[in-house]
């Protein structure tokens, strides 16, 4: 089995109103030290479309993170560390989930927790009593849903129904 790998710190500040939670960074992301670094992953394109700002992979990573925060969107993962061979969520073993207490304690304006895919959504019950939640189709290329269909559902993060 692969050795334990740690994920990334949260991209949050006190002004976030929306927190997007993924499962765990891909191998490509871990190597690059960036959330959603795998170019076939549609995360940055989806969020860019939703907020009306292009968040292209070629854009400086720090600038993409600043743009998220400017639009009151935070980003983190459910799993803080795990063993995994490859990048598939189904291969996650010996997971140690992140402790959300500090982030939630500081994010007083948080109203919506959005889950990027079903694996991340396994944690939905701990957020549901206090926040509005939405499970989004995974931005991963492993989810073969058409981009336009994904985008329709991702738009819920700015106008939940």
The position carrying tokens 């849903």 is: 145
Distances (CA, A) of 37 to 40, 48, 64, 113: 9, 15, 12, 22
d(CA 154, CA 47): 8
Question: How is residue 110 written in tokens?
Answer: 């948080």
- Is 41 designated active site? yes
Select which of 41, 42, 98, 116 is catalytic: 41
d(CA 106, CA 84): 31
Residues marked as catalytic: 41
């Amino acid at each position: 089995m692969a050795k334990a790998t740690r994920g990334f710190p949260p991209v949050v500040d006190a002004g976030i109103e929306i927190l997007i939670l993924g499962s765990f960074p891909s191998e490509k992301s871990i190597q690059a030290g960036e959330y959603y670094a795998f170019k076939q992953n549609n995360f940055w394109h989806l969020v860019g479309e939703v907020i009306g700002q292009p968040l292209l992979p070629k854009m400086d990573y720090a600038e993409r993170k600043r743009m998220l925060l400017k639009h009151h969107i935070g980003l983190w993962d459910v799993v803080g560390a795990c063993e995994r061979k490859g990048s598939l969520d189904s291969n996650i073993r010996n997971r140690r989930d992140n402790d959300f207490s500090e982030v939630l304690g500081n994010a007083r304006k948080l109203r919506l927790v959005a889950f990027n895919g079903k694996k991340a959504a396994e944690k939905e019950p701990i957020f549901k009593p206090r926040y509005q939640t939405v499970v989004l189709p995974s931005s991963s290329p492993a989810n073969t849903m058409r981009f336009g269909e994904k985008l329709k559902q991702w738009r819920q993060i700015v106008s939940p129904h």
